[in-house]
Structure 1
């Protein structure tokens, strides 16, 4: 029995071929730097430490940090399970600037960022009217930057990133809404 989505679409191939033909040194350097930052154990450790210290010091941010962390973990675990179920191969080596192992759909990085940002935006209790829009715009920009870099580098097909966003967004929305519902609103 064939698993749906096991093969990349014609649009996936066309997009990656177009990107491969139009890559520039500046964009390549930026995309590789973003990928290296996301894979850096030191950076991830410092980010985790900063989140934990912030949660200790700023009590009202604890639900946001807990929601974002929980959604990130669930998104990664779910995306890894789906990757093995779907077993879609990564883009052809001739089209890729960076070679990654394993399967490609859904993108774990896209799911992680989408889950983390969706949960954080929903769990946040803003006092300023512009705050929710600002958080949502920042989350959207971070997701677009991450997904674009993954496809640009040839690590993922476009539909891998879209599937990662859908998965992470669903997880993040669920976790963020649950945390928000259980968190009492602050008194003025």
Structure 2
């Protein structure tokens, strides 16, 4: 049985509604079409399948088995936790003039996109043995920018309230870190399988 948390009338709702009103009033048609296309692609099974195949190919080519395992486990675990928390919290998504993506169904908090992408990014960032501090900083910046971009798209489209995305990030980031830590503890001396 679902138990909805009392979010209506709270400061969180006022904060979220204020931001969403500003977003709704400042949307531009060209930007909305572009972000909507990105959003539609991001939930399409074909695109998700291609991204998964590209990830598997990258792991196989580089023989970065631990990185691949940590990334996949982080993404799946964060998605699972976020999905189950949604059922407990039971927060409705933005509706009416606050959304341009009303086809998205289900509960809003936490954002599974935000949780999964932040977990994936953290796992990749921590699991890869970067060649230099500069490469590590560049990769960290690129990963963080991608996570923020995806979360921003969810808010821009009105698929999520801003706090849904923030909670998703707060959930996914430690999941990615914990899974990577566990992977290192399980096999501390192996980062790649040696080439034959």
Fold match (TM-score > 0.5)? yes
Contact 1:55–1:65, Cα closer than 8 Å, also in 2: yes
Unmatched 5+ stretches in structure 2: none
8 Å CA contact 1:84, 1:103 repeated in 2: yes
Q: Distance in 2 between matches of 1:186 and 1:171?
A: 20
Structure 1 unpaired stretches of 5+ = none
Tell me which residue corresponds to 1:3.
Answer: 5
The aligned length equals 186
How far off its partner does 1:43 sit? Answer: 1.5
Equivalent in 16, 19, 24 of residue 20 of structure 1: 24
Taking only aligned residues, the RMSD between alpha carbons, in angstroms, comes to: 2.0
Displacement of 1:4 after TM fit?
5.4
Residue 68 (structure 1) aligned to one of 66, 71, 78: 71
Q: Normalised by the size of structure 1, how large is the TM-score?
A: 0.91
1:184 match = 189
C-alpha distance in structure 2 between counterparts of 1:119 and 1:4, whole Å: 33
Structure 1 outlier segments of 4+, above 4 Å: 4-8
The 1:2/1:186 distance shift into structure 2, 3 A limit, reads: closer
Structure 1 match to 2:107: 103
Q: 1:25 to 1:50 in 2, by over 3 A?
A: same
C-alpha distance after superposition, 1:70-116 (max 9, x if no partner): 00000110001000000001112221000111110000111110011
Whether the 8 Å contact between 1:5 and 1:86 is mirrored in structure 2 is no
